[in-house]
Structure 1
Amino acid sequence: MSLSEDTASPGASMQARVIAEMRRRITSGDFAAGESLSELALAEDFGVSRTPVREALKQLQTEGLVEIRPRVGTFVTEPSRREVVELFVMKEVLEGAAARLLAQRGQVAELDLLEANLVEADRAVAAGQHARYAELVLDFHDLLVQGSDNRKLQSHYRTLMNQLAYARLVRTSLSQPGRPSKSDQEHHQVLDLIRAKDGDSAEQVMREHVRASQRAVLIGLNAATSPRS
């Protein structure tokens, strides 16, 4: 599949487009954790030479998304359990701060977008559409961080989400019985507190939500790695 012009801005270089598309595939789970990546196969898939692919892999290694092992190969990074926990600790801090900052801003556009997100999320949960709800979860968290209006927070958050390959972990979390409904309720609680301009409580509840998500993720990861009888 050759890269289309809409994978990045029109003026971006081919290398930047390769980086953006490979980053997307890794963070979305299209490339599985631990998967071997072939420069030649990627170059053929993207319709480019091996040079932009090689440079893209170097960049993604600096972001913690791939691991280049000399004379062995290149692999999608597979975070250890400890790394997942550590990254979730930082996610809790950043999203809690984002909720507090958004509550302090008053009536801004992100609040209406979050409200619309929850309307659709309620429908998805009620219909048992877990894949759709997972997409809405990602959007909710992105909107929350966007609403913080803090570029440094947003930059650190984006790096963190890439390293977590969070889209994949969301699906793991929501695979736990009852978690989609509980997650949806927690999102409503956070938004209610933000609308009430109660920044301290919004931060506290958001942090509790992230911890609940972490627990569900770890249960799912344990189930996936446990030997089957």
Structure 2
Amino acid sequence: MALRRQRIDGLSIQSRVIAEMRERIISGELEPGTNLSEIALAEAFGVSRTPVREALKQLQTEGLVEIRPRVGTFVRAPSRREITELFQMKELLEGAAARLLAQRGRVPELDALQANVAAADAAVAAGDRDRYAALVQEFHDLLITGADNAKLEAHYRILMNQLAYQRLVHTSLAQPGRLTQSDSEHRHVVELIAAKDGDSAERVMREHVRASHRALMAGLDAAAR
């Protein structure tokens, strides 16, 4: 885990600690409820406690950790209400992104999305859920970057960090029939974007996000039993 030794200032070290901690939380390497010790993290990263402390403060602002005074700092999991609220925002932003991309015409992101859907079809046919989950992440990233709207993308990245979607996508895809359904929904969205039908692309993309949310909540309910 140690950061590479470089002659860089404290802010650069802090930024790298934030980035690496964020990735470990979002990917699920650090699970919800994990106690984050400043001392242990400083030793693991090979830095002083100061950049670690400031990194944890930033990650608390992003909703990824919870600092409990005189108790400790812990990896935070969003509540069911927060998940619903975050998915509502996800629906709005991804719907808008689909519309904006459709308006741009034939751009590289559209070619990449079509290739992504073809690869996803193959993953579904092979029953490879892990590969499909990775392609889901790529699909949504391409959609957002393809919208070519920096403000939308900035808000989306913060939203997805708070949702820690990489941890949740497998729960959603584990629901019966969801793998095939999700693939079909992605393909339909891309077809509408290619046809420059922004209204329909936005509507179908929003429907897709709502379906993913329903599958996720069903998975969380099943896990809680």
TM-score (norm 1): 0.94
Cα deviations across residues 194-228 of structure 1 (Å, max 9, x unaligned)?
000000000000000000000011011111112xx
Aligned sequence identity (%): 71
Once the two structures are superposed, the pairs formed by residues 10-29 of structure 1 within 5 Å of their partners are 13-29=12-28
Q: Residue 13 of structure 1 aligns to a residue in which SS?
A: helix
CA distance in 2: counterparts of 1:96 and 1:84, whole angstroms = 18
Deviations 1:64-106 (A, max 9, x none): 1111000000011111111100000000000000000000000
Q: What is the aligned length?
A: 222
Partner of 2:198: 199
Q: Which residue of 2 aligns with 1:122?
A: 121
Secondary structure of 2:66's match?
strand
**Distance in 1 (alpha carbons) for counterparts of 2:195 and 2:71:** 55
Give the Cα separation in 2 of the matches to 1:55 and 1:132: 35
Residue-by-residue CA offset, 1:156-197 (whole Å, 9 max, x unaligned): 000000000010111110111211111011000000000000
The residue that corresponds to 2:71 in the other structure is 72
Provide the residue aligned with 1:148 in structure 2: 147
1:162 paired residue number: 161
1:59 aligns to what? Answer: 58
Structure 2 residues without counterparts, runs of 5 or longer: 6-10
Aligned counterparts of 2:127 and 2:92: Cα–Cα separation in 1: 30
In structure 2, the partner of 1:92 is: 91
Structure 1's consecutive aligned runs of 4 or more residues displaced over 4 angstroms after TM superposition are none
Q: Indicate the residue corresponding to 1:9 in structure 2.
A: none
CA displacement at 1:123 relative to structure 2: 1.2
**What is residue 8 of structure 2 aligned with on the other side?**
none
In 1, Cα distance between equivalents of 2:132 and 2:48: 38
> What is the distance in 1 between the residues matched to 2:149 and 2:52?
32
| d(CA) in 1 for partners of 2:47, 2:148 | 37
Q: CA deviation at 1:140?
A: 0.2
One-letter amino acid of the structure 1 residue matched with residue 96 of structure 2:
A
Distance 2:27 2:104 in 1: 31
Superposed CA RMSD: 1.5
Distance 1:218 1:78 in 2: 14
Please give the secondary structure, in 2, of the residue aligned with 1:36. coil
Cα separation, 2, equivalents of 1:160 and 1:90: 8
